[in-house]
Amino acid sequence: MTDVFGDLVGQDEAVAALRRAAASAAALLRAPVPAPAGGPDDLDALAEEHDGDPGPAPADPGAGMTHAWIFTGPPGSGRSVAARAFAAALECVHGTGCGSCPGCHTTLTGTHADVRLVVPEGLSIGVNEMRALVLRAASAPSGGRWQIVIIEDADRLTEAAGNALLKAIEEPPPRTVFLLCAPSTHPDDISVTIRSRCRVVPLRQPPPAAVAEVLVRRDGIAPDVAEWAAAAAQGHVGRARRLARDPEARQRRDAVLAVPRRLTGVGAAFDAASALIEAAEAEAAASVAEIDEAERTALQTALGAGGTGRGAAGAMRGAAGQLKDLEKRQKSRATRAQRDALDRALVDLAGFYRDALIMALRAPVAPVHTDTASLAGAGAQKWDAEGSLRRLEAVLECRAAIEANVKPRIAVEAMMLALWRG
Ligand SMILES: [Zn+2]
């Protein structure tokens, strides 16, 4: 029952498609197509013949499988979970993603020799990283099945890195599979040329009931807590689990949802903006502190402390360069963590004004934040549907502005003023 796809919540269609692909991939390995014109790597032609055809014909082992995939969906819908599960199914020695064989197990724990996972830590994935990856992915799979490259947040590829990847996708080595994860297939997220070479697996935002069910079943969380957390997390599975388990995450959310009450004047609006930014900074700093320190210690150990002999001066210059590189990487990661923390806060805040809006409209929809529903109800009376909508839009505009590289403090201050004025 709990095979590798068990953790994909509320994604029945995507799971069915991935199971079919894994089965045809396994069939391909068992009975390679007797090399036609394109040779054994002509997965593309095989796949294209069957595009739009949901069921693989049993006679054709290539149907349903192709070498480049894009998993799309809103944050938290499980893009990377889906990509990893599919990778495990491809490496499964039984070809089904059983979840218990060495192929499945090592893929899911990140130790399979033929599966590489790229998780960008900074704001973008650079060209050097991508070239090195593409090169390694071209080698024959050591386990005899597939070489797999999973790229999380493929929307954060630099243009040059995207081009390096495109070359590999255009002329794929016979046993190499690329699994990309991105919010959407919009050209802002994925270049049109890469998109045209990939099969898309759209994931949807899982319904709160499905998220609650998995929290209860897998994490042993009490049903009432699971239901509240699933609704509050708005379909984000990881976020729901954190809210259910981590008191600090709950406190941060409480502080964000206190914002609407605190906006009593211009001064209060600026104070609220500062508080929100500083909370995001503190949360981000805490989340990267441990790994930053571990990296620094490891590098210092590797470089060796001190040294006075000949050549020590040159070695020190090299060491200084490496330390500088490390600091640059860490700074980039910290920026990313801050933006992610701030974005989570903005999503919570948007949920509040969305609740006010549905109440003003008397829409028969469950509130996102059950614990602040009465406050949202009071807002709905005061602001009416129009005022609630304007406030919701102010929060969404702030998210868009930060995404477009407006300085977070400036965007948040503008939002708070708009929320206060209405
Ligand atoms: Zn397996």
- Give distance in angstroms: CA of 98 to centre of ligand 1: 4
Strands 176-182 and 199-202, by their bridges, are: unpaired
Q: What is the pLDDT of residues 234-288, one digit of tens each?
A: 888 888 999 999 998 899 999 999 999 999 999 999 999 999 999 899 888 887 8
- Cα separation, 416 vs 191, in Å, equals 35
Asked if 229 and 209 touch (Cβ cutoff 8 Å), the reply is no
Buried b / exposed e along 388-404 (16+ C-beta atoms within 10 A)? bbbbbebbbebbebbee
Mutual angle of helices 266-303 and 408-421, in 10-degree steps: 160
Q: How is residue 157 annotated by DSSP?
A: B
If you average pLDDT over residues 352-368, what whole number do you get? 95
Asked if 253 and 232 touch (Cβ cutoff 8 Å), the reply is yes
- Cα separation, 143 vs 115, in Å, equals 10
- Give distance in angstroms: CA of 173 to centre of ligand 1: 24
- Give distance in angstroms: CA of 99 to centre of ligand 1: 5
- Give distance in angstroms: CA of 88 to centre of ligand 1: 7
Predicted local confidence at residue 402, as pLDDT: 93
Q: What is the pLDDT of residues 289-342, one digit of tens each?
A: 877 888 788 777 777 655 455 555 666 667 777 788 788 878 877 888 888 889
Of residues 173, 150, 182, 197, the one with CA closest to residue 48: 197
For 26-35, 174-183, 361-370, 385-394, which range has the lowest pLDDT when averaged over its residues? 26-35
Of residues 92, 97, 121, 76, the one with CA closest to residue 16: 97
Sign for the CA dihedral angle at 84, 85, 86, 92 comes to positive
Q: How is residue 289 annotated by DSSP?
A: H
- Cα separation, 375 vs 301, in Å, equals 54
Sign for the CA dihedral angle at 357, 361, 367, 372 comes to positive
Q: What is the pLDDT of residues 49-104, one digit of tens each?
A: 444 444 433 434 445 889 999 999 887 788 999 999 999 999 999 888 999 999 99
- Give distance in angstroms: CA of 116 to centre of ligand 1: 18
Please report, rounded to a whole number, the percentage of residues in the chain having pLDDT higher than 90.
Answer: 52
> First CA to last CA across the chain, in angstroms?
51
Phi, psi of 152 (to 5 degrees): -75, 150
Predicted local confidence at residue 157, as pLDDT: 84
- Give distance in angstroms: CA of 107 to centre of ligand 1: 9
- Give distance in angstroms: CA of 29 to centre of ligand 1: 15
Sign for the CA dihedral angle at 269, 274, 275, 277 comes to positive
Full-prediction pTM beyond 0.85? no
Listing from the earlier edge strand, what are the strands of the sheet with 68-72? 115-118, 147-151, 176-182, 68-72, 199-202
The rounded mean pLDDT for the chain is: 86
